[in-house]
Structure 1
């Protein structure tokens, strides 16, 4: 990692395991995921993964993957983080979702906020910060310069073990207009609601609502922007502070990479479940043979496997593009390039879903899709992902138009 002069002036705080490598942390995720398979039902009943799982994640370094090294993190990079997300989602979609959307926002904080804010926000080392993009509540400047924030924000995945919360509200710009304000609230300023678990899927994803009542947020924990609208072509505080281009990459495309990683992990879990059925069950109609010997099941498995493998390859390619664009300089991280990466992720999500919805779920057999069966659960969870606003509203719809406008220099109406 190339360090700037500013970064060299500060002594780096070593993480708990200074010698830990990216491959080792991914291997830990693979091992954890195998145990998560058998705990999916309890995770759904609880609404979030267990305390001992949280503690294991903490000891394994998962909450520090994207945290800068100067604050006790591992700073392993986007590729490592997405590989961990894939493995955890493969074992338990709800757990992978909750982990991803809780730990991912270390990247946004380390990229967009100044040194003072980062030093305070990352002071605990482990960082879990759910976020929402829909503005809600109210924010008013207090006499001491802080922000008095109140409101309720829904679908805050990762909230059960959150150390912080990243949200948006609309504030008066002084001219009678309302502008978005992005803020990071410490755990002391919010309450988690008991309002999650009755949805179709991802019932164990810890996507509870968060309420803030007269919360006090320092001004340096806020930004006059919306996370999806940030333009980093002029550089970022994080790139300058840490000397790492990862903290100069686009937050919007980073969020879309999360969607793709979750989809690939869930589809791989469905393929695992289908393989178990292939090895353990026989066909219903003569000639009655093991499914592994039946031409139709061979075809269905092969079609799905090809889609899942292609989706994973697309994810890795999108991650590589994101890293390459970030490393070439801030001027190259344009909205068009971010949307090009998002378009790759769109196809990753589509291929993952098509493998499950088109081949694995319909042919697994009715007994394999009873309530609580692994295949049934993955289908529910992936169906829930398809309804997510970031997928259905943005990625499958708005992003297409925005990419075309960026390419041809057309202003949005």
Structure 2
């Protein structure tokens, strides 16, 4: 099936999306607590985001989606997270389907993205281990899959899922991806976390075995070949793969930190410091020290993110993928940004006094969301410092535990 980039669709520019998200900032902040209570992004928020064109970020370019540089994406997500970091996280995570849309025949994928829908169309997950994925066995005309996939961010509002499956009981390299309508899956209302609770990252599962036709089964090898073909036609995603996605995600850490600093500074002229000679926090030298340190840490984190963003855009412009060492460095940069931002937000939270623990106060929610993001497996600072150090020292080690996305030939 020949394909061309969809024409005549409303593709907002990066500047337009940032402006629309800035207009929505108050709404998003007012609904942060509601989203946490519901443990998912409220449907009304999804509808407003859809009207603003935000879901162009999670639609492949050849079906009318946005095609932004890393810099543009980073700026969009930072503005987004200034409103609600958890909601921004859901949209960011759902963009994983953009890559895997390239692994399947166009007559299979096109109806998924071209039919009317409000919100993100797909989600993608699994592949790091058998515990996080399903299994598949060959049958006439396709595959019988069976499994449980936890942490299905983006699944609440999606119509389809890309799910990793192991198709050989004795060989962990035999890993595939299936495209499954969500209506064929069981969703478990089991996402109840201390941070990023609003992401609705529930578990999805099959009810026994489920038949998937051959056309809806693919592999990282097929993905890599198809990516080369689409790139040659000017229809493929930008280069950088999973590393680019993680660098873009640092914008969410920075955006939440921006919000935390704003909230903290808005309160220092109103709050006192009990058992001290200071009538308000702004009078106390410790407050100046806390703000100065947090600002310096966040400025440094922002500069690390900016350098990573610039490096990826340079590579993309040159038509090159990051090398193995560059990928390790960029991945470590992303983990550093998350760790630094989470620590700075926690410092601001602790300096806010006992009243900050009340759930009606936004800073406690931002602090929990920031720390949760920094604890995501892909953002673990200690893991990536070790991985980078091991590479630089030339130390031998086993194969990294990576997801099917990292095995897709791009990142």
Counterpart CA distance in 1 for 2:69 and 2:8 is 15
Paired position in structure 2 for 1:38? 30
Determine if contact 2:331/2:384 at 8 Å carries over to the other structure: no
Counterpart CA distance in 2 for 1:112 and 1:324 is 26
1:273 equivalent to 2:263? Answer yes
Question: Cα–Cα, structure 1 residues 335 and 152, in superposed 2: closer, same or farther, change >3 Å?
Answer: same
1:335 equivalent to 2:324? Answer yes
Which one of the candidate residues 375, 381, 385 is aligned to 2:373? 385
Q: What's the CA shift for 1:206?
A: 0.9
Question: Cα–Cα, structure 1 residues 211 and 56, in superposed 2: closer, same or farther, change >3 Å?
Answer: same
* TM-score of the pair, normalised by structure 1: 0.83
Which one of the candidate residues 116, 119, 130 is aligned to 2:123? 130
Determine if contact 1:66/1:81 at 8 Å carries over to the other structure: no
Counterpart CA distance in 2 for 1:130 and 1:200 is 22
Paired position in structure 2 for 1:323? 313
Question: Cα–Cα, structure 1 residues 235 and 158, in superposed 2: closer, same or farther, change >3 Å?
Answer: closer
- Structure 1, 403-412 or 370-379: larger mean CA deviation: 403-412
Counterpart CA distance in 2 for 1:89 and 1:22 is 15
Counterpart CA distance in 1 for 2:152 and 2:311 is 29
CA-atom RMSD in angstroms:
3.1
Paired position in structure 1 for 2:402? none
Q: What's the CA shift for 1:253?
A: 0.4
* TM-score of the pair, normalised by structure 2: 0.83
Question: Cα–Cα, structure 1 residues 205 and 274, in superposed 2: closer, same or farther, change >3 Å?
Answer: same
Q: Secondary structure of the residue that 1:352 maps to in structure 2?
A: helix
Paired position in structure 2 for 1:3? none
Counterpart CA distance in 2 for 1:311 and 1:114 is 41
Which one of the candidate residues 157, 179, 182 is aligned to 2:177? 182
Q: Which runs of 4+ in 1 moved over 4 A?
A: 110-118, 406-411
Aligned length: 391
**Per chain length, whose mean CA-contact separation is higher, i.e. which structure has more relative contact order (CA < 8 Å, sep 6+)?**
2
Determine if contact 1:130/1:159 at 8 Å carries over to the other structure: yes
Q: What's the CA shift for 1:360?
A: 0.5
Q: What's the CA shift for 1:237?
A: 3.8
In structure 2, the gaps of 5 or more residues are 400-411
Q: What's the CA shift for 1:208?
A: 0.8
Paired position in structure 2 for 1:167? 163
Which one of the candidate residues 47, 58, 67 is aligned to 2:59? 67
Q: What's the CA shift for 1:368?
A: 1.3
Alignment of 1:7-406 (within 5 A): 10-14=3-7, 16-18=9-11, 20-102=12-94, 104-109=95-100, 115-116=106-107, 118-124=109-115, 127-133=120-126, 134=128, 135=130, 136-144=133-141, 146-172=142-168, 176-178=170-172, 179-197=174-192, 199-213=193-207, 214-225=209-220, 236-243=228-235, 247-284=237-274, 287-330=277-320, 332-357=321-346, 359-392=347-380, 396-398=382-384, 400-401=386-387, 404-405=390-391
Q: Secondary structure of the residue that 2:220 maps to in structure 1?
A: coil
Q: Deviations over 1:311-330 (max 9, x none)?
A: 22322322221222123224
Counterpart CA distance in 1 for 2:340 and 2:221 is 30
Q: Secondary structure of the residue that 1:185 maps to in structure 2?
A: strand
